Amino acid sequence: MKKWFAVIGDPISHSKSPAMHNAWYKEMNVDATYIPIHVEPANLHQAVTSLKLLGASGWNVTIPHKEAILPLLDELDEQAQKMGAVNTVVKTAAGKYKGYNTDGAGFVRSLEDMIGPAHKDKLVLLIGAGGAARGIAFALLAEGYQHITIANRTLAKAEAIVEQLGCGQAISLQEAENNLQKFAIFIQTTPAGMTSGTLDLPFSLDKLPQGAIAADIVYNPLMTPFLQAAESKGATIVNGLGMFVHQGAIAYNYWLGHYPNTSSTIAELTAQLK
Ligand code: ATR
Residue 129 CA to ligand 1 centre (angstroms): 7
Whole-model pTM: value is: 0.94
- For domain 3-101+242-273, give the CATH superfamily: Leucine Dehydrogenase, chain A, domain 1 (3.40.50.10860)
Domain range list for the chain: 3-101+242-273, 104-239
Catalytic residue numbers?
66
pLDDT reading at 155 higher than 90: yes
Q: Is the CB of 62 under 6 A from ligand 1?
A: no
**Domains 3-101+242-273 and 104-239 in one fold:** yes
Q: CB-based contacts of 182: which residues, under 8 Å, 6+ apart? A: 123
For 186-230, write each residue's pLDDT tens digit. Answer: 999 998 755 555 556 677 899 999 999 999 999 988 998 899 999
Mean confidence (pLDDT) of the chain: 94
Instruction: Provide the pLDDT confidence category of residue 274 given band limits of 50, 70 and 90.
Output: confident
Maximum C-alpha span of the chain? 59
Residue 161 CA to ligand 1 centre (angstroms): 14
| Distance from C-alpha of 56 to C-alpha of 41, rounded to nearest angstrom | 20
Identify the pLDDT of residue 192.
73
Class of domain 104-239: alpha beta
Residues pairing with 61 in the sheet: 8
Nearest-CA residue for ligand 1 atom 5 is: 130
For 24-72, write each residue's pLDDT tens digit. Answer: 999 999 999 999 999 999 999 999 999 999 999 999 999 999 999 999 9
H runs (alpha helix) in the chain: 17-27, 44-53, 78-83, 103-115, 131-142, 155-165, 173-178, 225-232, 241-256, 262-273
Probe residue for ligand 1, chosen from 127, 152, 171 as the CB with the greatest number of ligand atoms within 8 Å: 152
Q: Which atom of ligand 1 is nearest to the CA of 66?
A: 2
Residue 130 CA to ligand 1 centre (angstroms): 6
Handedness of CA 100, 103, 108, 110 (dihedral sign): positive
